[in-house]
Chains A and B, each alone.
Chain A
Amino acid sequence: MTKMKKFLSAAVVAAMTISSLAGCGTSSKGDDTTLTIGGIGPVSGPAASYGTSVKNGCQVAVDEINKAGGVKVGDKTMQLKLDFQDDANDAETAKNAFNKLMDNGMDALVGCVTSAPCIAVTSLSEKAKILQITPSGSQKECAQFDNCFRVCFTDPQQGTAMAEYIVNKLGLKKVAVLYANSSNYSQGIKDAFVAKVKELGGSIVTEEAFTEGDVDYNTQLSKVKDAAADAIFVPAYYTEVSYIVKQAAEKGIKIPFFGSDGWDGILDQVSNKEVLEGATFLSPFLYTQDDAKVQSFVKAYQAANKNATPDQFAADGYDTVYTIKAAFEKAGSKDIAKLEEAMTQIKVEGITGTMTFSKDGDATKSTKLIQIKNGEYTAIVAE
């Protein structure tokens, strides 16, 4: 009897091993009529709004492309299929999602939406030889391998772009910086910004740190006031920014504020919009921008999503799908080497700007800025 049991259990183990191996073996790359685009991002948890926006933005692009006839890869025309998985902003969950997508026959990956899961997935996608394009992972390592690219600016790119705008374009030489030392995002932008300002002949008159979650910035602002700066740069997210701009106004600080893309949505965060008047921040997308492409995207997005207003994540997702389309059409094949080469040759006219990609994965595109005028976002384009 015991022998029988042993045999049975051994058989079960063997069967399980074989079936799990079979799972690996069948990661076939779809068929010739559909191109499967996998997506990974948080659609649950505290960061859910980012993932949901990207997912919805991708879906708009996929529907548009399919309606227009699909993607021409070599001599075949394929329809796109979006398979979006939740990672709840967690690296381990993202890896599992990636494996699941591979089993589902993914041809290219949009993702991940947030930096930490994205970095975790890059090593898997490199081994699997899958083209991975993150719409919004701004940390340097999100595009660390040859098969990985990004649509958004990196953190240092943002700092450099803002420094050029403030010092060169506006001629403001004495700049104060207020940044969150507890955030990679804030720190990354700040470091590049400070270096660039100095390179351009400006000076950083004071550099004040704070911790994310602080509510009282009076002390730092008093020091900024003493430093007699021409401009103040705050690379941070809107929660902290809303406190900073209000307290600065109360202190009688009248110099112009500048910010990073974390400011997107700031107007909803303050009760008195006057404190933001004249502030300028970098953002790839403004839904009210007077541009035919942007407006047609906004219309399609709102029709598909109960009138929700698309944000920069939705726009990044949309542009990522179009970038994938362009890469496959240029490469004319699903071969990763050809796709990698194609990525550096394509030029994508997206709604976040016209993009080209370098071999190290970063996008080059024009800097788009948003200025707050009369309590409204207005787009300004800097060269």
Chain B
Amino acid sequence: MSSFVEQFLNGLIPGSIYALIALGYTMVYGIAKMINFAHGDIIMVGAYILLIGLNASGVPTWLAIVLAIAGCGILGVVIEKVAYKPLRNAPSLAVLITAIGMSYFLQNLFLVIFSSKGKSVPRFIHVKDFKIGDITVSGNMIVTLIVTIIIMILLTVFINKTKLGSALRAVSEDKGAASLMGINSDLMISMTFAIGSALAGVAGILWVSMYDKAYPTLGAIPGIKAFVAAVIGGIGSVPGAMIGGIALGLVESFTKAYISGELVDAFVFGLLIIVLIFKPTGILGRKRIEKV
């Protein structure tokens, strides 16, 4: 039993990080109707900003964390303004290619600056490990879990209960109509990119606290996994991204623990296929009727 609980936690933690990243994919898709493939690389940028902050003398840890999150948020907005906004009326394929280009650009930029060698991030979360019987829950795990839960609650409240949240939902429903009602849709899109990228920054910070190392391709794998999670949960749906991310983490962990370490990705993508067969819009995705 204790081993089952431990394997559950082993899946829940990366799962909740996937969920944070998936939120960015899903929010951007919901409002801009595009897949931001550079999203995974923003995690990497967050990790590097944190690394620089922690290594600089005289910068307290909290400031390094805030700088990393804010830096990612700003980067998200800049990417949107520079790369995606000029293509707002272009075919979606052009935007997709631009996003992939952006992803390569970020990876290679950091490769040139920091080299491909992984850099260890000093330990910055000092929370005591927690023990119940045989189960050890590390401080990192506890912090990751608490941070994710708080963010999910705040985000849900923000989207459903605030005025800005309503505006966001309105633009996502119908951009044209929302503009006619006096909502600045460009501002809303920028805000979505800022929030999504800041969440990616948080994910990056949690990622290096768990896995210790920053390197230029760090964001690629979690980025793809989170994208899968967003699709499983129903792309465009915020609670769907949360469920999808956690489901993915658990499937990974249980496959490794009870079936085979070699079949992990087969099961992850198998789950994706099964969900898409029975519910093509994902678990919580809504069917949209395209009006012609």
Contact = CB atoms under 8 A, between A and B. Distances in A.
Given A219-B257, A220-B261, A271-B122, A242 B213 contact: yes
Contact of B136 (A181, A242, A246, A252): A252
* Interface residue SS majority, chain B: helix
A339 B57 CA distance: 60
Given A216-B14, A250-B140, A222 B3 contact: yes
Interface string A242-274: 110010001110000000000000000111100
B211 A222 contact: no
Q: How large is the interface on B (under 10, 10 to 19, 20 to 34, 35 or more residues)?
A: 20 to 34
B153 to A, nearest CB: 26
Interface in A284-308: none
Nearest to B9: A218
A209 B261 contact: yes
A338 interface: no
Nearest to B215: A239
Q: How large is the interface on A (under 10, 10 to 19, 20 to 34, 35 or more residues)?
A: 20 to 34
B129 interface: yes
A269 B118 contact: yes
A144 B199 CA distance: 55
Given A250-B129, A252-B129, A239 B118 contact: yes
A218 B10 contact: yes
A208 interface: yes
B261 A242 contact: no
A44 interface: no
A358 interface: no
Contacts of B118: 239, 269
A46 B253 CA distance: 32
B212 A242 contact: yes
B121 interface: yes
A208 B261 contact: yes
A210 interface: yes
A226 interface: yes
Contacts of A220: 256, 261
Nearest to A215: B211
A215 B213 CA distance: 9
The 5 A-B pairs of least Cβ separation, nearest first, read A250-B138, A271-B120, A218-B10, A219-B256, A252-B136
7 contacts: A181-B261, A216-B211, A226-B3, A243-B211, A250-B141, A252-B129, A269-B120
